[in-house]
Structure 1
Amino acid sequence: MDKNYYWTEEDKSGVVTIGLTDEGRNELGNITFVSLPKVNDQLTTSDTLLNVEADKAVSDIESPVAGTVVAVNKQAEDNPALLNESAKDKSWIAKIQK
């Protein structure tokens, strides 16, 4: 998936929050299933961050940053439709410590 399809925000401690942009959500269509990484997973930029099933595509999305997963959006795992929203506080995917 193209880098334009996700957003990243890094805080002062090097934790990067990742989510899908409007462009990414439009490309996928309505998201109906997600498989998120586990807390403490070690990811490189070639590792899969997220598996998504949606109306238009089934995709493996690579992690845009390398590091340790420190949090995942459990609400999105239980309710994948949250990832269809543009509100970053609801639709984030994971937080990774660089």
Structure 2
Amino acid sequence: MNENYYWTEENDGVVTVGLTDDGRNELGNITFVSLPKVGDSLKKTDTLMNVEADKAVSDIASPVEGTVIEINEDALSDPSVLNNSDKASSWVARIEK
């Protein structure tokens, strides 16, 4: 997936990652998501999440290298939260660099 399809916000060495409107449009309605586990170490090319959606099934690479310190638990039980543009509810993971 193109790097324009996710957003990142860094605060004190912790990067929050989510899908942009372009990313959501490319995928379509998200119906399933698999996220990393807290404590997982990711390299920049490692898979951050697997997504099943109307238009595609995709592995989305991590945009940063570091350790996963938090995941959006709401997205695991209700993947549709990733379909909206509200960053407060549609983020995917927080990664400490």
**Offset of residue 15 of structure 1:** 0.1
Aligned length: 97
Aligned pairs for 1:17-96 (under 5 A) are 17-96=16-95
Matched with 1:7 is 7
The percent identity for this pair of structures is 68
Aligned residue identity for 1:62: A
Runs of 4+ in 1 over 3 A off after TM superposition: none
TM-score (norm: length of structure 2): 0.99
Aligned residue identity for 1:16: V
TM-score (norm: length of structure 1): 0.98
User: Hey, what's the Cα distance between the residues in 2 that align with 1:46 and 1:17?
Assistant: 17
Calculate the aligned-residue CA RMSD, in Å. 0.3
**Offset of residue 46 of structure 1:** 1.0
Unaligned runs of at least 5 residues, structure 2 = none
User: Hey, what's the Cα distance between the residues in 2 that align with 1:78 and 1:17?
Assistant: 19
User: Hey, what's the Cα distance between the residues in 1 that align with 2:19 and 2:64?
Assistant: 14
SS in 2 for 1:61: strand
Q: Deviations over 1:57-77 (max 9, x none)?
A: 000000000000000000011
SS in 2 for 1:23: helix
